[in-house]
């Protein structure tokens, strides 16, 4: 069982169970037992859609949240970047552990592979962006666009005062 703190200081316990998986399916509309379906696959969507992750996390802790009088909107308000990152890491670790213990190693392997691919893609994209010469990109855009040639010539010459 993993835990994370939200931005309000509340501690939430993450545990993947069959009941939790059913709550995720009912409340968030996704089947965590089928990470490879969809386009993009659910496993990939979980790494790129923070609102989806917030819904999944709330479904997993909804019993705790109800006991604490915390609704979905309030729970999600507490998921700032740090809390979301911490919660996501714990969630993925729990999900991988669940699949391994439930003798579904293909799901754990698929999730691990999707995470590695997305991290590599993110790293490469970051590197490419950092290598860009933004001034050159803007200059090239103006040279090749119709905008650059569509400015009217001034019919009045400007004279220095």
Is 23 domain-assigned? yes
Could you tell me which residues are beta bridge partners of residue 4?
A: 12
Is 121 domain-assigned? no
First to last CA, the chain: 77
**Number of structural domains in the chain:** 1
Is 161 domain-assigned? no
User: Do the beta carbons of residue 56 and residue 28 sit within 8 Å?
Assistant: yes
Is 155 domain-assigned? no
**DSSP letter for each residue of 7-33:** TTS-EEEE---HHHHHHHHHHH---TT
Average pLDDT of the chain, as a whole number: 84
pLDDT in tens, 86-112: 999 899 889 988 988 888 777 777 777
Is 90 domain-assigned? yes
Is 6 domain-assigned? yes
pLDDT in tens, 20-40: 999 999 999 999 988 878 888
Is 55 domain-assigned? yes
Q: Low-confidence residues of the chain, pLDDT below 70?
A: 118-119, 121-122, 145-161
Residue 11's φ and ψ, nearest 5 degrees, are -100, 130
Residue-number span of the structural domain to which 104 is assigned: 2-111
Is 106 domain-assigned? yes
Residue 133: the pLDDT is 78
């Amino acid at each position: 069982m993993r835990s994370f703190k939200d931005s309000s200081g509340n501690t939430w316990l993450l545990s993947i169970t069959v009941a939790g998986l059913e709550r995720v399916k009912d409340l968030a509309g996704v089947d965590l037992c089928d990470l490879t379906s969809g386009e993009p696959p659910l496993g990939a969507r979980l790494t790129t859609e923070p609102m989806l992750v917030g819904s999944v996390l709330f479904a997993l802790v909804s019993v705790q949240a109800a006991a604490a009088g915390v609704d979905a909107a309030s729970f999600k308000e507490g998921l700032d970047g740090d809390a979301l990152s911490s919660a996501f890491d714990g969630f993925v670790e729990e999900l991988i552990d669940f699949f391994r213990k439930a003798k579904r190693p293909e799901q754990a392997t698929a999730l691990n592979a999707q995470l590695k691919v997305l991290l590599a893609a993110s790293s490469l994209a970051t590197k490419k962006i950092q290598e860009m010469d933004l001034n050159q990109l803007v200059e090239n855009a103006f040279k090749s666009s119709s905008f650059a040639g569509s400015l009217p010539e001034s019919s009045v010459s400007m004279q220095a005062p």
